[in-house]
Chain A
């Protein structure tokens, strides 16, 4: 049998279909659906949502960045990340013996209008040092608090601990409104406020955090925008497209291969922040042949690090000479290991490996940049006779695996929360401390001694010299292949002024003006 299409679909009301189609198309393109343009809302897109806005329970960047906008700390890192500057405390003094820190609070108010008092400071810091806090260790050195008057407070230490001032600038040292937190408990952190430039107005998990201007903020005239919306867009390309389409005012984390083309877009400003980050290859010094410093140095000579910065990072970074980012007390005298294949072969021969050896390298599977870097390392090392087998491993398993010592080499990175090198030197060079020199098990008695000394020495040239010596020793012994410091590219639309990513990776949205 045969059915005829035309007869089957024939209808006596052909205009109906047309009308319906027109209605749908009309509705979709009508201005009813367009968002009203609001000049005073700043929209920033980032990759991941915050997890919790309780400062003592946060460890992920999005949570930390938002907390830094909502709460104040006694002191804060300067914008360029080189020194500590006043925050809630207008000024402070440290006693000559390094045991008493006295802070004079400025006349600041929480978003609800209550004044910030010494009481709030004590409550918040004790909470940060308490049982529920993930960061207690950072604040345990304070053994006693003395409230001199509602605007003056003294922190007492049992023994000198120089990184203390830096720790007070950490997100986890945020000053909270005691009364409110005590009354509401954990619920307070669903839509928290503090004395910072913004307060959380609405939080749609996984979608956006809407921040409203804190009308009581102590810096007059700031923030310049009424609202800041943090949009969560996981996909790198989607963030870029949204910025180009003008649906977003600023974005962070741009894929390296798109930075150059964005720079040519006349509607955009593009910047690259030198954040405190070091990318390196951990070498397990308990395993042969990595127990021999000559082998470790040879590997450093074998890698063309400039090519990595040019090829993979597209120039958005600098070559590294040690396991520390470029930050305070950086040892400028150090030079990166040059790319020198002959020297590498010579060192390998001297160590008893004239024909090289074979080894394995752990690489995080979800990280595109890491995979590119790994195959580049593989081909460089092959040229000196070192055969590397790459083992991709799920990112969340990598740290546990290296921690357990089940690796030969591992491509990884470290970042710093503070502007003081204490945190990363402790993590990457001191053994045991927290991580047995970032799981390399490298141990240097002099570094351990200097670390102990640095933490007791008042900030100044002497302490700087101690850091420089430690950095030199790490450089020489090379428990890592030091790769590079990768920058964080960010971009904003031309009418947005003052948006920048700081060396501490966060942004100060109170300084942003929309023209």
Chain B
């Protein structure tokens, strides 16, 4: 019951967030020079052609009318007609949403799978060779542009040793996961380089706490002390870092999407801005806002699971 109430509360909060975000996206786009009709017609259009297309697209109306009709479209669950694609925005976004979600989900899982063991080793062997090794490797990974790292890994793992496909999205669930592994791995490296540092330092803090001595004094086994007491108590700050970084990844996968030819939302957003496809950009803005709110929600739920004192 608690969680339902909490979720509903969050959804209510979404309304002012969306209103604000759509208004900003709406106005910013229209401040940009360049209008869709001119871009579409280019060197083929006369002034009359451009005026006719502008009217046909409904862009000759006053701004407030355009904004209201966009809100109306949104309430009806569609986002209007895309200017570039000449078809409904909703299905186009939905078609690509899964690629982005799969990429973000898989990369987050991989990041978690890397973070917990590596941070544990680094904390337990503090200042040891492994600790320094992990630190150096991930600082390097963090400083490399993901575009470059991507091309390097493709050269190594797809061209020289053809283990993974160079790019593409595949058909069917298993093939898709196989195609998404390398791009997700590259994204997860940058996530993990943050979360490993964060988890390692909170592990070290918690290890010094009195209750850990108590746990050991009452004769608990090392494993139980480590996983039930130290790790669990150290997770909170890392969950925050993971949540924030994942929200960022959602809108920031465009480079990886381009390198690996994954039909996700990032590239759609960039190309839609270039085409001044107002309805598409507005639809995508709303989609991203909803996703970020959803991730924050998941982060809060994860807090509650990790720390029973946290009430939703």
Contact = CB atoms under 8 A, between A and B. Distances in A.
Contacts of B53: 134
Interface string A1-26: 10111011010000000000000000
A346 interface: no
A207 B84 CA distance: 17
Contact of A233 (B41, B159, B261): B261
B130 to A, nearest CB: 9
Given A397-B34, A399-B38, A244 B174 contact: no
A466 interface: no
A57 B225 CA distance: 67
A237 B35 CA distance: 31
Interface in B51-76: 53, 56
Given A1-B212, A1-B216, A242-B166, A206 B33 contact: no
Given A396-B275, A417-B44, A238 B263 contact: no
B95 A29 contact: no
B228 to A, nearest CB: 12
A394 B207 CA distance: 53
Interface in B17-62: 32-35, 38-46, 49, 53, 56
A399 B226 contact: no
A244 to B, nearest CB: 6
Contacts of A237: 151, 259
B133 interface: no
Interface stretch (A46-54, A288-296, A302-310, A372-380): A46-54
A179 to B, nearest CB: 22
Nearest to B96: A206
Contacts of B158: 241, 245
B169 A207 contact: yes
Nearest to A187: B87
Interface in A36-91: 48, 51-52, 54, 57, 59
Contact of A414 (B43, B159, B162, B167): B43
A414 B87 CA distance: 28
A258 interface: no
Contacts of A33: 174-175, 178
B154 A238 contact: yes
B134 interface: no
Given A3-B207, A29-B163, A241-B159, A205 B92 contact: yes
B95 A399 contact: no
Q: How large is the interface on B (under 10, 10 to 19, 20 to 34, 35 or more residues)?
A: 35 or more
B86 interface: yes
Given A5-B124, A134-B53, A233-B167, A400 B267 contact: no
Contacts of A5: 121, 124-125
Interface string B213-252: 1001000001101100010000000000000000000000
Contacts of A8: 120, 124, 222-223, 226
Interface in A123-174: 132, 134-138
A401 B39 CA distance: 12
Q: Name B's interface SS.
A: helix
Interface residues of A, number: 60
Nearest to B35: A400
Given A52-B85, A400-B33, A245 B159 contact: yes
A51 B92 contact: no
A401 B45 contact: no
Interface string A396-410: 110111010000000
A341 to B, nearest CB: 33
B285 to A, nearest CB: 18
Contact of A241 (B42, B154, B178): B154
Contacts of B41: 59, 134
Contact of B222 (A4, A137, A241): A4
Contacts of B15: none
A497 interface: no
Contact of A238 (B163, B222, B230, B261): B261
A355 interface: no
B83 to A, nearest CB: 9
Contacts of B86: 51-52, 54, 57, 186
Interface string A235-263: 10110011011010000000000000000
B144 to A, nearest CB: 16
B261 A186 contact: no
Given A1-B216, A238-B167, A396 B225 contact: no
A1 B207 contact: yes
A414 B44 CA distance: 11
Contacts of A394: 32, 34, 274
Task: Output the residue of B166, B213, B222, B274 with the most chain A CB within 10 A.
Answer: B166
A248 to B, nearest CB: 8
A204 interface: yes
B212 A207 contact: no
Contacts of B263: 204-207, 232
Interface of B: 32-35, 38-46, 49, 53, 56, 84-87, 92, 95-96, 120-121, 124-125, 151, 154-155, 158-159, 162-169, 174-175, 178, 181, 207, 212-213, 216, 222-223, 225-226, 230, 257-261, 263-264, 267-268, 271, 274-276
Interface of A: 1, 3-5, 7-8, 10, 28-29, 32-33, 48, 51-52, 54, 57, 59, 132, 134-138, 186, 190, 204-207, 231-235, 237-238, 241-242, 244-245, 247, 366, 394-397, 399-401, 403, 414-415, 417, 423-424, 427, 433-435, 438
4 closest residue pairs by CB, A with B:
A206-B263, A207-B263, A233-B261, A397-B33
